[in-house]
Amino acid sequence: MKENRLMNQIYAIFGVFMTFFYISVGLYLILAKNLYYIDDFLKKIVGFTFLLYSIYRGYISYIKVREAFRANGKNNNNEF
């Protein structure tokens, strides 16, 4: 049981790092001026797609972190 909780915590932290990775790649593609071999319109489309996916991934990661690091498997808002 402890191993499962530890793995869930590791996956949750990995999800947070991947969210920041997708944000970084999206902003790089939108703001980079030195990518001459890629069409500017295509760069912006792919960059905004990465940013939209990072918002989705961030929301899912928030839920996973909240579940994985909840104390004793109980809800922290005093529900029974």
Which tens digits make up the pLDDT trace of 22-68?
Answer: 999 999 999 998 888 889 999 999 999 999 999 999 999 999 999 99
Tell me how many degrees the CA angle 15-16-21 measures, rounded to the nearest 5: 95
- In a domain, residue 31? The reply is yes
pLDDT the model gives residue 57 = 96
Of residues 64 and 2, more confidence is placed in: 64
Domain membership of residue 19 as a residue range: 2-71
Of residues 57 and 1, more confidence is placed in: 57
Cβ atoms of residues 61 and 16 within 8 Å? yes
- In a domain, residue 76? The reply is no
Band (70; pLDDT cuts 50, 70, 90) = confident
Q: How far apart are CA 64 and CA 25, in angstroms?
A: 23
Number of folded domains that form the chain:
1
Q: How far apart are CA 50 and CA 56, in angstroms?
A: 10
- In a domain, residue 39? The reply is yes
Give the burial string for 43-74 (b: 16+ CB within 10 Å, else e).
Answer: beeebeebbebbeebbeebeebbeebeeeeee
